[in-house]
């Protein structure tokens, strides 16, 4: 049996559209075992009623095995832990993809390097911003150079905590991309380029007073916030309660605040505020995961 643990991820992080991402200490765990004759999907040991052929872990697994002509007959795939909220902008799809590819590599005798796992997962996902930090951990800038994925880690100061504010409604990834403009004015591109560069510098130098300006964005957030009810009010509350920066996590619906001090006060006041809203918002305080994916054979 192969056991795989995959962290949640937050992507874009303000100005880093489709390129910035960070792994978080919130995990899914899957178990994969070859089985003769049929495939079964389990959720914490309970058989899923969904067609296994629609399962993203399964499809990522066999996509990888087929590339190397690995012969298989069937699988038992058990999602033994599922703490990453589905379709909330915290990398649930990337976790399935990276988990499936990594499990395939392990079944083949650890045939794939970490970079090869990343490149296959990126091909399945379409862009690297979530799959790379899920694989390698930490905060990462990722770019595609032809078919190759290049990435570089960014040091995140230990003082920073990330408050994920998660509602009980989803935002469709397809709709969140469809709502974006097909072209941008030069000034908006310069705005994002400059803030992306300064965000990295400010994190390295511990210049927390500059982070709010650095997390600003004109490429995706102004459009995606319209799909998230109460987004502006929640981000304003986070700002007024001491956050040093805020952003939409991935394509939403999760909103993220970055906090460096008075964390208990922030947590209490923002939780109280969220409790008065519709849509059952909840707040989870998270730290960066620096390990990335973990695979074990049993």
The reply to whether 93 sits in an annotated binding site is yes
Instruction: Using a pLDDT cut of 90, give the percent of the chain over it.
Output: 87
Q: What is the pLDDT of residue 42?
A: 93
- Alpha-carbon gap, residue 176 to 249, rounded angstroms: 12
Mean pLDDT of 171-195: 93
The reply to whether 180 sits in an annotated binding site is no
Contact 41, 96 (CB under 8 A): no
User: Which burial class, exposed, middle or buried, applies to 49 when counting CB atoms under 10 A from its CB (0-12, 13-18, 19+)?
Assistant: exposed
The reply to whether 283 sits in an annotated binding site is no
Give me the domains of the chain, ranges plus CATH numbers.
Answer: 2-154+289-297 (3.30.230.10), 161-286 (3.30.70.890)
The reply to whether 249 sits in an annotated binding site is no
- Alpha-carbon gap, residue 186 to 279, rounded angstroms: 37
Contact 6, 79 (CB under 8 A): no
Q: What is the pLDDT of residue 169?
A: 94
The reply to whether 84 sits in an annotated binding site is no
The reply to whether 90 sits in an annotated binding site is yes
pLDDT tens-digit map of 99-153: 999 999 999 999 999 999 999 999 999 889 999 999 999 999 999 998 899 999 9
The reply to whether 80 sits in an annotated binding site is no
Q: What is the pLDDT of residue 158?
A: 93
Tokens representing residue 95 in the block: 């976790």
The reply to whether 86 sits in an annotated binding site is yes
The reply to whether 95 sits in an annotated binding site is yes
- Place 52 in a pLDDT band, splitting at 50, 70 and 90: confident
Q: What is the pLDDT of residue 174?
A: 84
The reply to whether 94 sits in an annotated binding site is yes
Pick the closest to residue 156 from 245, 222, 217, 96 (CA basis): 245
């Amino acid at each position: 049996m192969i056991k795989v643990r995959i962290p949640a991820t937050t992507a874009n992080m303000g100005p880093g559209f489709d390129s910035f991402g960070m792994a978080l200490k919130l995990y899914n765990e899957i178990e994969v075992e070859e089985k003769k004759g049929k495939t079964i999907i389990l959720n914490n040991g309970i058989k899923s009623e969904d067609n296994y052929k629609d399962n993203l872990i399964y499809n990522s697994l066999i996509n990888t095995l087929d590339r190397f002509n690995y012969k298989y007959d069937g699988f038992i795939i058990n999602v033994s832990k599922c703490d990453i909220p589905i379709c909330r902008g915290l990398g649930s799809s990337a976790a399935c993809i990276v988990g499936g590819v990594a499990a395939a590599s392990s079944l083949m005798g650890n045939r794939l390097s970490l970079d090869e796992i990343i490149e296959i997962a990126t091909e399945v996902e379409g862009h690297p911003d979530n799959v790379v930090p899920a694989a390698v951990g930490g905060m990462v800038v990722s770019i595609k150079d032809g078919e190759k994925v290049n990435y570089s880690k960014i040091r995140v100061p230990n003082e920073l905590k990330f408050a994920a504010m998660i509602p009980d409604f989803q935002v469709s990834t397809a709709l969140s991309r469809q709502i974006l403009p097909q072209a941008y004015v030069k000034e908006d591109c310069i705005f994002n380029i400059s803030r992306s560069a300064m965000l990295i510098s400010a994190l390295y130098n511990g210049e927390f007073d500059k982070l709010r300006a650095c997390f600003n964005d004109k490429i995706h957030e102004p459009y995606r916030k319209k799909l998230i009810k109460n987004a502006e009010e929640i981000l304003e509350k986070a700002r007024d309660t001491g956050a040093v920066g805020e952003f939409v996590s991935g394509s939403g619906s999760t909103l993220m605040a970055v906090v460096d001090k008075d964390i208990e006060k922030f947590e209490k006041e923002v939780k109280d505020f969220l409790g008065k809203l519709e849509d059952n918002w909840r707040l989870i305080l998270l730290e960066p995961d620096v390990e990335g994916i973990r695979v074990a054979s049993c």
